[in-house]
Amino acid sequence: MSPLPLLLPLLLLLLPLLNMEPARATLIRIPLHRVQPERRTLNLLRGRREPAEVPKLGAPSPGDKLTFVPLSNYRDVQYFGKIGLGTPPQNFTVVFDTGSSNLWVPSRRCHFFSVPCWLHHRFDPKASSSFQANGTKFAIQYGTGRVDGILSEDKLTIGGIKGASVIFGEALWESSLVFTVSRPDGILGLGFPILSVEGVQPPLDVLVEQGLLDKPVFSFYLNRDSEVADGGELVLGGSDPAHYIPPLTFVPVTVRAYWQIHMERVTVGSGLTLCARGCAAILDTGTPVIIGPTEEIRALHEAIGGIPLLAGEYIIRCSEIPKLPAVSLLIGGVWFNLTAQDYVIQFAQGDVRLCLSGFRALDIASPPVPVWILGDVFLGAYVAVFDRGDMKSGARVGLARARPRQADLGRRETARAQYRG
């Protein structure tokens, strides 16, 4: 996970001036919450390589247990949830990031001049009876900042799961202003093991290996209603049918590092086709927007009337939103449509209203095909089920239209765990 430039927080300050169903599965929810905006992009240049062959991991069987983590969201920009580390648990808020694979939080032993550390909750090893020292140094380079620290081992509490022994990072130095203004304390990576710094086993793998989670499967439901505190849910072990409108469309993961799939085409209304020869698409919960190649994103903004602002940002005339064309993504032979309400990020403060495009440009050197990153603008409209697979089936991603929040709440009492095989 790598922070994008800090333009969005500055804009906010300037506003006043300008689906088979397993039987009897248990649902444990991890809420998501809203957070101070932190624009970031996936740093594909850090450790970007073809992963080595790894065992295929997979589909849930009857009786699977699901863990639900409620999520929070700040103005459709970033989602985070709560975890605990140590005995008794010390509570932290973390971004659940499919674009990285390590867990880290600030340390009570952090450097005196590391400002972000002092503005967040810090892990105290002396306050945990289950703490085990490791001491291996780690460093993670993000797009606009770096985290340095040491590895430690302790118990993880997440949703209804307790007692998982995990190796995590205690951050001793956070070099970027992005970490200062970001409300979450740290990051919990949900990417593949090959992305993990220092070869640390990712938390998801630990939960499965220690028998605390039946399968390496999880799903995100991101609530895009910025007027309410509820940001949605992270579901560990499967998916909840109350979150989406069936069916789920499954597509294979093409590179087992980031959650990368093949996208056949992108259209803007009936007059513009992008990704015409196919492209790679990475599903990244840590990126708030949709990112594509510079020339194609420029053409897209010409088609929707985007006005260039700064650092790749485009303003959309708020009054034009009802007239804007749909942007449609062809994935697995199915069209996934985004309306302007989906892809325009709207902010209001008092009588001032600002509408920003949810598309950004970034050229990622990854031949032979262009790379797009489908962040929260897409994942808010469509629930994604991330399935690492097993020895019989490869990794895959399932997509289905997110159910409107009101309908979701109405179905919650009768909803049961569902996983489409």
The catalytic residue positions are 97, 284
| R_g of the chain computed on alpha carbons | 20
Closest residue by Cα to residue 157 from 192, 99, 206: 206
C-alpha separations of 335 from 59, 137, 331 in Å? 24, 45, 6
Residue pair 24/421 in contact (Cβ under 8 Å)? The answer is: no
Distance (Å, rounded) from C-alpha 75 to C-alpha 229? 10
Distance (Å, rounded) from C-alpha 165 to C-alpha 54? 23
Question: What distance separates the 2 farthest-apart alpha carbons in the chain?
Answer: 63
Query: Concatenated DSSP letters for 226-275?
Result: TTSSEEEEEEESSB-GGGEEEEEEEEE-SEETTEEEEE-EEEETTTEEES
Structure tokens at 341: 């309400």
Residue pair 386/393 in contact (Cβ under 8 Å)? The answer is: no
Residue pair 237/214 in contact (Cβ under 8 Å)? The answer is: yes
Per the listing, tokens 């902010």 go with 347
CA dihedral 404, 408, 411, 415 (to 10 degrees): 130
C-alpha separations of 341 from 9, 106, 319, 349, 357 in Å? 21, 37, 12, 19, 10
Closest residue by Cα to residue 405 from 228, 159, 246, 219: 228
| Burial class of residue 403 (count of CB atoms within 10 Å of its CB; 0-12, 13-18, 19+) | buried
Residue pair 249/399 in contact (Cβ under 8 Å)? The answer is: yes
